[in-house]
Amino acid sequence: MKPGNEHPLQSTYWEEFRSKRQPVSRVNGTLVVWTKVAYTPWSFGYVPMGPLPTSEDVEMLAVLGREKNAIGIRIEPNVKQPESLTPQFSVLNKSLRLGRNLFKKKTIILDLTKSEEDILKGMHPKGRYNIKVAEKHGVVVRSSQRGEDFEKFLDLMFGGTAKRQKIYAHGKNYHRQLWESLKNKMAYLFVAEYEGEIITADLIFKHGEGIYYAYGASALEHKEVMAPTLLLWEIAKWGKTQKCKFFDLWGAEDGKGFSRFKEQFGGEIVELVGSYDLPINSWLYTLFRVVEEIRWKILRIIK
């Protein structure tokens, strides 16, 4: 990823938001979020999109985990997969266990230091075509801080996108609290209107040198006007006006529709090191992973 550039999920803004919902800690400056395991006295820690931990960090996390009565701690670094294993990464691979990825292991990074013309040239021809289609249909893009627009975004997410893509999304109240905590600080809402109606909306995080495609939602209708492509392009242009150097489209998976949508912008596909677990209570951790796998299999069936 971008060396030295803190991910939004490690920011003080994100810490402030999450602390309203659950306990949080810092270990050597890295944010840890704690979730209580339902109906038990145990908890499970999560380090979202942080740096690659050192052996010292892992030892400190283990001490904190025991203090927090934790089963384990999941670590998901915002670090690009090295072409060859570094000594530090080799050591960590031996001391940690592979965990379930909460975020997609791959992402797509769009270089905003390039000119608009060069970004367009680097796009897939279909992407450039879809932008022109949306413009021809009169799709209008704007930023918004209106509560009613955010509620429309939630309606689109839970009424269309989540069902269509089988996404396991947080509930509406979670997103409302996120918006109230982070708007005008790190979170920005952009909407695309067609014939006066919002049919696409994206929630963007702006932090450090980058902007991040946090959430997107679209209506099931009016797909032919290609509003999502124009909306993301206008957001990229906005990012350039904010002097941001990159646009992290945040998540890609081979063969998936949402990935094909992002790939049309011609960014760099980046693979991260993945998810790793630090067991604190070995027996309970083994049981936790079995239950976790069963839970996800059931969710996939009922979704």
Residue 56's identity, in one-letter code, is E
Q: What's the pLDDT band for 294 if we cut at 50, 70, 90?
A: confident
The region of weakest confidence among 79-83, 182-186, 205-209, 229-233 is: 79-83
Tokens matching residue 34? 């704690």
Q: What is the pLDDT of residue 132?
A: 97
Tokens 């209580």 sit on residue: 36
* Span 35-61, average pLDDT: 93
Class of domain 106-270: alpha beta
| Pairwise CA distance, residues 70 & 43, whole Å | 5
pLDDT over 90, % of the chain = 76
Checking if the pLDDT of 84 tops 90, the result is: no
> For the residues 36-42, what does the mean pLDDT come to?
92
Residue with more model confidence, 301 or 208: 208
At 168, the pLDDT band (50, 70, 90 cuts) reads low
Residue 218, CA distances (Å) to 90, 192, 247 in order: 42, 9, 20
**Cα–Cα nearest to 112, from 3, 234, 240:** 240
pLDDT of residue 156: 94
Q: Could you write out the three-class secondary structure of the chain?
A: CCCCCCCHHHCHHHHHHHHCCCCEEEECCEEEEEEECCCCCCEEEEEECCCCCCHHHHHHHHHHHHHCCEEEEEEECCCECCCCCCHHHHHHHHHCEECCCCCCCEEEEEECCCCHHHHHHHCCHHHHHHHHHHHHCCCEEEEECCHHHHHHHHHHHHHHHHHHHCCCCCCHHHHHHHHHHHECCCEEEEEEEECCEEEEEEEEEEECCEEEEEEEEECCCCHHHCHHHHHHHHHHHHHHHCCCCEEECCCECCCCHHHHHHHCCCCEEEEECCCEEEECCHHHHHHHHHHHHHHHHHHHHHC
CA atoms 35, 46, 159, 294: torsion sign: negative
**Is it the case that residue 4 has pLDDT exceeding 50?**
no
Question: Which tokens hold the place of 168?
Answer: 């396991």
pLDDT at 91: 56
Asked whether the domain spanning 106-270 has the same topology as the one spanning 8-104+272-302, the reply is yes
3 has pLDDT over 60: no
- Beta carbons of 169 and 157 less than 8 angstroms apart: yes
**Mean pLDDT of the chain, nearest integer:** 90
Q: What is the mean pLDDT of residues 91-98?
A: 73
pLDDT digits (tens, 9 = 90+) for 239-269: 999 999 999 999 888 878 888 999 999 999 9
212-213-214 Cα angle (round to 5): 95
Instruction: Indicate the range of 207-221, 267-281, 286-300 predicted with least confidence.
Output: 286-300
Residues 69-95 have a mean pLDDT of 78
Query: Domain spans of the chain?
Result: 8-104+272-302, 106-270
- Is residue 173 predicted with pLDDT exceeding 60? yes
Could you tell me which residue, 149 or 294, shows the higher pLDDT? 149
pLDDT for the residue numbered 298: 72
**Single-letter residue type at 139:** V
What are the residues whose beta carbons fall under 8 Å from the beta carbon of 229, sequence distance 6 or more? 127, 130, 131, 134, 261, 264
pLDDT at 2 over 70: no
Give me the pLDDT at residue 1, please: 36
| CATH superfamily, domain at 8-104+272-302 | Gcn5-related N-acetyltransferase (GNAT) (3.40.630.30)
Q: What is the pLDDT of residues 206-231, one digit of tens each?
A: 999 999 999 999 998 999 999 999 99
pLDDT surpassing 70 at residue 166: no
- pLDDT of 90 > 70? The answer is no
Query: Across the strands, what pairs with 211?
Result: 206, 247
Residues 6+ apart with CB under 8 A from 180: none
